[in-house]
Structure 1
């Protein structure tokens, strides 16, 4: 940022410079004009309450909850997030997966029939519901890995393990289901293990477009959203820029360069921050909710609520639908993605997905929009941190 402007810049701009442009669900390289940093909300919730008033309000609107129910759900999701890795260890080879049941307000753990009575009792004692399923997570993950090695036609959108159904779900584009290439792929997929076929209205896509204003960051003629601050920079989507590419901020001044970038296969990158810019552990609420402090990166389970804030469509919430899903973009497949029913549009790419105060990932791609809805995927943030040896900037 230009030093001559430093003493005049608003708090909102500082937050955006920090590299926390929020979360989106579509790889947003460039799109229509959005709220600039200087007009974004600047209130940061620093209390010890389970969530800010703004986040509770958003959850009431998104899920039709009372304030008490929203608080209870956040606390239940935190408990499920903590329990999930312990449940995997307790069940051992009989582990079939797990998910958060919003109706029951607790984690459901799937186990195969050979789970020991002691393991089942331990899981229930820890607060989980236990469900017996046909296949273990190891079997389902192995089947998905074999499908990952197949060449998927454009009429196949994605595939992931569904622990509740104890199957690998392959999603095909509805009006392409009868295509010969799609049918051949499905035949080969069914041959490797338990597979169920579902359909979707559209194929997933990245959301690039031309630059039109002063939103989060730019590289070349592409605009994307900043993800999460790390010490020394920020993480974002790999399709937003190649390693070495220069990055400019909302005001056009130089921020840094892409230090690493991968797409397809993965969809993650990180950018170093300097030249008067700095990072803070905040995700912008864009006036819909208070700006959210980032306190960690504990992984939310399937079924948990999740929100994202992007530079185009700002703040929206939804639910985690699936983990470790392979998404088949036109540029190639991307692996180990998390699917949500949060909407997003062009320009939101690279932005933050957050559950409560826990960072979840950066927006990769999806289908639909924030008028009619859709589905979006994010690249889990812990994988990005591990890949580049980065440390998340937390409060």
Structure 2
């Protein structure tokens, strides 16, 4: 699309936007004067859908009216509440419903997956991760190595950008696998980098890893609801993600987990287990040996927190109605418009760290402002922009296509321009 740098053009794009009605389904923070803030921080916490309150209230009412019988007779019976959402979540990550389970939180799920899929041997024990992965991933991977009495200095292989660059090159990952493939037990990559916004080529990463029979897992914290990872088709072994960013389920809400179909019925696979992963037909018989459900549900430990799950149900309802393909199409256009406006500022001190190709990014652009400090970020906040600052000089801007508008993007760039020229 050929963009124009005018407010009228942004408003025309909004008028023609097939998803424009969904903006009114969300609650936006307000400034002290009552004006709506420019919220561009869905990569950290998604906005609350207006209907979420009603979804939670329904669960409270069912609990009040039914007590324990809510497990079977609630509006959304609690016994199967998370199972009912597997199909909706599967569409978002490109999986079969039986490969997806909503449970726990992201790093808990990452540990549970590494219990099952990190199988070190004296010769094959190394883990590959991107060097600038989100800190929790690094902590989790290092602790797993230590648990197996492996020195992280020896057991961790970092996929790094080249000197003077900010992005990881796929050919450099291929080189790591070619050189160390017989020593690597696990590749565990964040699908979309939280700092740079780079979306990695998950299909190629998986293909290259499988030439050396390496297990592959992905952290979709910044991918789920943002890009389409097509987990089943690319053949990833597992993936984990949170739902409070692009999936708008609420702060600290439940995470998601993917286990490929080829693994889900394997009763002999290592796993930490709990009663909610037990065969449903005999779950309440008690005092029997663990019999895992032959789907991703077999990795569950405990019954899910229903009030948290209500927030997930609310957001997935909107995703189902909008259609993830439509959301992704708008994302490409919306972030492209933001990119155009930033470039049109034509300021030497501003650069975009995120890849220019829409296939290599989601909706986030990481904007580097040389010689700036956090005072610039505070100026933006004072003028009604909600974004994210990362030291030393990067502002992360993530226009979420389900609720952000082209006018939001235009307004942000005008405010940024005014702050820089002040």
TM-score, normalisation: structure 2: 0.26
Larger fraction in strand: 1
> 1 or 2 for the larger relative contact order (CA 8 Å, sep ≥6)?
1
Report which of the two structures shows the higher radius of gyration computed on alpha carbons. 2
TM-score by length of 1: 0.27
